[in-house]
Structure 1
Amino acid sequence: MRNHSCRVHFATLRGVPAVVLENELLRITVLLHGGHVVEFNHKPRDLDYVWLSPRGGWPVPPSDDFFDTYPGGWQEVLPNGGAPAAYRGAAMAQHGEAAGLPWDCAVVANDPAEVAVRLTVRTRRMPYRVSKVLRLRSGVARLEAAETLTNESAVAVHAMWGQHFAYGAPFLVPGARIALPPGITVIPHETTLNPPRRAVAAGGPYPWPVVPTPDGGSVDLSVVPAPGSPSDVLYLTGFTEGWYELRRPDAGPGVRVEWDAAVLPYLWMWHEFGDTTDYPWWGQAYVAGLEPFSSYPTNGLPDAVANGTALSLPPSSSKELTWAVEVLP
């Protein structure tokens, strides 16, 4: 037990087991039911970057409805991205299954220089196992992750795999800026599942960041808009390097996310700024999601298989993924 440098301990939050990783700069809390990161707090500023749902969802008791138990935060999306869907006889919920299952947790490093835990889960409706090591080093405001996704069956299967990073108060404010590598294009989401008002006109792809709006105007997607702005889901592509930065206005504090773009070549951009006044947000959400993903669209795995973007894992095979989240001064 330490109260300085790097440390790790277990806790219970509202009846849900959790693991907490800390160093001098960061405190990170992960719920072990669902693997949700519900705190990414930069301690010198007491500034949390994670968005938490205004509806107070919590992953216990379990539910087949993702939104009933969605606490907000950051989570693994696997093997279905977006809307409920059926794949080869397996019915999957919104963003199912990994975010709705209990994860095992083992401490793999625990000394003043670094702490690390290994989280593991097996999906129940598809033959996947995920192993994820989260690591925090002394004196560095950076969370590092190394993951392995394994198909444990003797048949080839598909998957959508994503990291669902959602940013909200107190970090996210109007005027925050999003920076991306050069050469990125924007693919609008084409589905009747969209809210009535959309931020970006149908068609495309469009070059990042200034894109047309449905009313014939334009919008700069690199600037986080004011509350009440239209909702949308967009897909960004063209990543030869996987990174983005999200920073408060006037060079304020920010965050940089890095990932292996060879595994997750898309970035989903989810905008919910209070314009959805029906279920599930009731006008209460102000959140920006910037989510590295293997595939698109958010209609579910069958559509990703159809458009050729779904991951395909041969029998008894694995894929490796690394990602990191770092606080920018």
Structure 2
Amino acid sequence: MINDEWLINGLRAVKVIRNELEVTIIPELGGLIWSIKYGDHELLHHHKDPEPIEHLREGLTPEDFYNIVFFGGWFEVIPNAGYASRYAGVQFGLHDESPYIPWKVEYDEEADEYSVLNVVSLRKYPLKVYRRIKLLNSNEVLIKERLVNLSRQNLKFSWLHHPNFGSDLLSEYTVLELPKGTEVEVDKYLSGGSSILEPGYRGVFPMVKSKGGELIDLSRFPRDLNTNDLVYVPMVKEGWFRLINEKLGIRLEANWDVNVFRSMWLWRPLGGGFNYPWFGRIYATSVELTTSWPATGLAEQVKMGTAYEIQGNGEISTWIRFKIT
């Protein structure tokens, strides 16, 4: 069923419920998927209570706006995945622009009581996104998307799904599984001072080197760290990952269209490091599906040849599916 009578801190929320599975969306917060609950277990990290973005804009720069409005949940970024960047005459902020503008929500419960459509037209870039979230059964979700170019010219862009996993799903008993032989590269472009990993290190998941030369297991999530690490999978070979909490017996498996989401970013804010923006107060992980890398923004992605392109007046369709057991 669909329930649109919820308010979260004054923001309208739409819940899609099918037996044990419940997905909550906050349309005006960039179409944020705020919650995924399976039975009594919450799977997404909630960093702080959400509030209207307009309350937070004053005095913020493009570089730090995202850090202020990071509430957690699963958000979607298009056309600038990564840090502030200037491209095609547009100044983009960090993870700009779709998370910062309201999305419309449409549904017909009589036609389909387990499906909602979210729609957004970007303001800086002539792109329109249609995202349908459908509960296929009591433990499986399908996200089908269509991107439309509203202009006649070809457009370069980057597209990112940024699920922030935490709450009941993430603990020291959780393991991340990726296809065997997955090649990874530690971020060297942003040089995060809070990262414990050796910048630019290349290896095979799950083991990478720390700055001190020790091996770090990316498949595990210890609580005794205070680190903020970013690792890339530049080229995805098989479109799946699994997050399994071995103690609670919760298992999330995702599959997706690797023709569009060709790369992955593995963000590990385990504590998050000292000082701004996390002050050691975050414990989450994100397995981010993206068209492009690194996280330096669209202009750099265009230079490196990793940006995606949509033809003038063209369309791109794609999908993500995840199952919880």
Give the TM-score normalised by the residue count of structure 1. 0.91
- State the alpha-carbon separation in 2 of the partners of residues 57 and 14 from structure 1: 7
Residue 41 of structure 1: aligned partner: 37
| Cα distance in structure 2, aligned partners of 1:164 and 1:141 | 21
- Residue type at the aligned position of 1:81: A
Alignment deviations for residues 119-164 of structure 1 (CA, whole Å, 9 cap, x no partner)? 00011001110000110134x2111110011111111111110110
* 2:42 maps to amino acid: D
CA apart distance, 1:203: 3.1
Q: Which secondary structure state, in structure 1, belongs to the residue aligned with residue 276 of structure 2?
A: coil
Partner of 1:153: 151
Paired residues in the alignment total 317
Contact (CA 8 Å) 1:157, 1:313: kept in 2 or not? yes
Q: CA deviation at 1:15?
A: 2.2
Change (3 A) 1:211 1:67: closer
Gap runs ≥5 in structure 2:
none
Q: Distance in 2 between matches of 1:199 and 1:249?
A: 26
Partner SS, residue 54 of structure 2: coil
Q: Could you tell me which residue of structure 2 aligns to residue 3 of structure 1? A: none
User: How far apart, in 2, do the equivalents of 1:204 and 1:274 lie?
Assistant: 22
Which has the higher mean CA deviation after the structures are superposed, 57-66 or 285-294? 57-66
C-alpha distance after superposition, 1:267-319 (max 9, x if no partner): 11001111422111111111101111110111111111111110111111111
Letter in 2 for 1:76: E
Q: Deviations over 1:186-218 (max 9, x none)?
A: 011112x34324233233431111122211111
Letter in 1 for 2:54: P
TM-score (normalizing by structure 2): 0.92
Contact 2:80 2:95 in 1 (8 A): yes
Q: Mean Cα displacement is larger for which, 70-79 or 272-281?
A: 272-281
User: After the TM superposition, which residues 182-201 of structure 1 pair with which residues of structure 2 at under 5 Å, given as runs?
Assistant: 182-191=180-189, 193-201=190-198
CA distance in 2, matches of 1:188, 1:319: 30
The answer to whether the 8 A contact 1:256-1:327 is kept is yes
1:58 and 2:57 correspond: no
Amino-acid identity (%): 25
Q: Which residue of 1 aligns with 2:241?
A: 244
Q: CA RMSD in A?
A: 1.8
Mapping 1:283-294, distance limit 5 Å: 283-294=280-291
SS at match of 1:163: strand
Separation in 1, partners of 2:51, 2:231 = 27
What's 1:133 paired with? 132
How far 1:8 sits from its partner (Å)? 3.9
Change (3 A) 1:174 1:257: same
- Say if 2:105 and 2:118, in contact at 8 Å, map to a contact too: yes
